[in-house]
Amino acid sequence: MTKLDITGVFILMTFFWGNSLTAQNIKNSDAGIPKLVLVLSIDQMRTDYISRYWNKFQAGGFKRLVNEGAVCSDAQLDLHVQKISTGTATLFTGVYPATNGIISDSWYDRLKKKEINCIADDYYITVGSDSKEGERSATKLLSPTIGDLIKINTRNKSKVFSVALNDVSAVLSAGHAANGAYWFDTQNGNMISSSYYVSTFPEWVRQFNEIGYAKTYSERDWTTLLPIKSYEESEADDYILEKGYYNKWNTFPYNLRKIKENAGSYKFLKTTPYGNTIIKDFAMQLIKSESLGADEFPDFLTLTFSSMDYENNSFGPASVEMEDTYLRMDQDIATILDFTDKILGRENTLVVLTSTCSSNYPVDYMKEEFHMPVGTFSPESAIALLKSYLNITYGQGDWLEFIGDQQLYFDRDLLEKRNVSLEAIQTKTANFINQFEGIKIALPSTSFEQGDYAKGQLAVIANSYNFKRSGDVLYQLEDGWQPVYKYQRTIYNDNSNIPFIMMGNLVKHTQIRSKITGEDMVPTILEILHIPIPDHCSGSILEEVLK
């Protein structure tokens, strides 16, 4: 599908949303509409990182955002499965997974009888590399992103881009009609895209890749930005509960050449500050080369940084490594803000700092240091017991067809063949799982299909339940508990707090203490851009932040 086709689809869709989203002649010269909306999204960022490292930040990065912007101190992304995929889709569409369809990194397709990745799409090819890491698209995202809405309402005149270390972040923040989405190819260290977005690889991107930033950084040592004794906001560098790289390297300095040899690719760079620096440098080149903010139509750019990515739990939020990552990221953000000031003018950029997910303290750390009532839950052991229970109750059979993130899928063909009630087996299974230590609640999907649990605490699961994609039984762990697998690395989070700061000419310098949700970002930015807000948006305009 070409970009023109995609945009046409969304223009037709607007007639069914019950809102007058007709294309308008929106110009950034009208009433101070910004020339560029810049969203700085930091994966797995805890809200307390800014206050914790405050005294070591420089003036132009995080401090500038806080000192000049509207700071929302209680922002939440209330999702059943808290992952980068679900958070990104929710944040940038303004609707929950029940509507946008991204219920996790992957789910089970009952018709195709196989697991489906949320962005993998071999219909499209990698642009900028010979690898398969560009075979991605946003076709499984069922709702338009804010970038899509901006392009529709400017008759495709606005430019929309995303840049990230991870493909999921780049694709799901870019949406369907973006001019480009770029991410880091772990095989060769290049910035790449998909033919879903880019038909001809831009020359400026090819030239950027030729510099070989990934190779250069991987031949360096990662040393601390400041004298290591000054990292008093963190646990000791040799803290005993830190697993470190490959369970053997957990103190500075880090020989990145050795780590790359163990990794077998450039993937490890996403766990270091240098990955974020590559994103910063690429973004500045993109702004210049694609002439963002240069005409009368507002443009949109998302940059996604990483908080140590998949090694987050190997070091933890209280580590020296995490602190150093944020001190260096602070410099990268300051550089970007200074760059946009010089190119576009401070008054012409709307900046949003947020995250698509937060991070937890490791269970061992919370138990050993603070005696908290937390623990680990073994899904493998629980499923083994559940299978025995189902065989005793209903007879021998492979009753579970697929096991996903906090949800179970039954073999419905087998249920029909054995004349087993779907509602009955769902209810019995949920009741069985509720007996396990570490389980907060397990619920049968028939409850959501009947409209139950639409309000209150269980609404978190209900808002994430998608009729076609979600499992038959969905469960949540107790707060602070984390799943563990024998042979599988788990990135798990149940912390719904995210940072949220807006800074711009039309935004007040203020602090909002009332609770807001991540879905509020889309309608608030649309309001600033004078774009009608579609009826399907779950969030509300943050009136308190607007002048």
- pLDDT tens track, the chain, 547 positions: 444 444 444 444 443 344 444 444 555 556 689 999 999 999 999 999 999 999 999 999 999 999 999 999 999 999 999 999 999 999 999 999 999 999 999 999 999 999 999 999 999 999 999 999 999 999 999 999 999 999 999 999 999 999 999 999 999 999 999 999 999 999 999 999 999 999 999 999 999 999 999 999 999 999 999 999 999 999 999 999 999 999 999 999 999 999 999 999 999 999 999 999 999 999 999 999 999 999 999 999 999 999 999 999 899 999 999 999 999 999 999 999 999 999 999 999 999 999 999 999 999 999 999 999 999 999 999 999 999 999 999 999 999 999 999 999 999 999 999 999 999 999 999 999 999 999 999 999 988 877 666 555 688 899 999 999 999 999 999 999 999 998 887 788 889 999 999 999 999 999 999 999 999 999 999 999 999 999 889 999 999 999 9
CA dist 178 and 195 (Å) reads: 12
Read off the pTM.
0.94
Domain range annotation of the chain? 3-360+497-545, 376-483
CA dist 181 and 259 (Å) reads: 28
Residue at 376: amino acid letter: T
8-state DSSP, 136: B
CA dist 73 and 542 (Å) reads: 13
pLDDT confidence of residue 491: 80
CA dist 463 and 495 (Å) reads: 17
For residue 464, give the nearest of 82, 60, 53 by alpha carbon. 82
Quick check: bond before 273 cis, omega within 30?
A: no
**CB distance 228 to 237 below 8 Å:** yes
Q: Which tokens hold the place of 50?
A: 């800014």
For residue 500, give the nearest of 337, 352, 327, 326 by alpha carbon. 352
pLDDT confidence of residue 26: 59
Instruction: Give one word for 419, left, alpha or beta, with left for phi > 0 and alpha for psi -120 to 50.
Output: left
8-state DSSP, 120: B
CB burial of residue 229 (10 Å; 0-12, 13-18, 19+): exposed
pLDDT confidence of residue 1: 44
> Phi and psi dihedrals of 412, rounded to 5?
-70, -25
Express each pLDDT in 457-482 by its tens digit: 688 899 999 999 999 999 999 999 99
pLDDT confidence of residue 459: 86
pLDDT confidence of residue 3: 47
Q: Which tokens hold the place of 89?
A: 């889709």
Our CA dihedral for 112, 116, 121, 122, rounded to 10 degrees, sits at -60
CA dist 450 and 444 (Å) reads: 11
Pick the CATH number of 3-360+497-545 from 3.40.50.720, 3.10.20.90, 3.40.720.10, 3.40.50.10320: 3.40.720.10
Element (H, E) at 255: strand 254-255
Neighbouring CB atoms inside 10 A of 339's CB total 15
Domain 376-483 indexed as CATH 1.10.3080.10:
no
Express each pLDDT in 164-221 by its tens digit: 999 999 999 999 999 999 999 999 999 999 999 999 999 999 999 999 999 999 999 9
Q: 49 vs 35, 407, 499, CA distance in Å?
A: 30, 32, 9
b/e per residue 283-293 (b: at least 16 CB within 10 A) = bbbbbeebebb
Beta pairing partners, 116:
107
CA dist 431 and 393 (Å) reads: 13
CA dist 392 and 408 (Å) reads: 18
CA dist 433 and 472 (Å) reads: 13
User: What is the per-residue DSSP string for 266-332?
Assistant: SGGGGGSHHHHHHHHHHHHHHHHHTTTT-SSS-EEEEEEEESSGGGHHHH-TTSHHHHHHHHHHHHH
Q: Which tokens hold the place of 181?
A: 């989405």
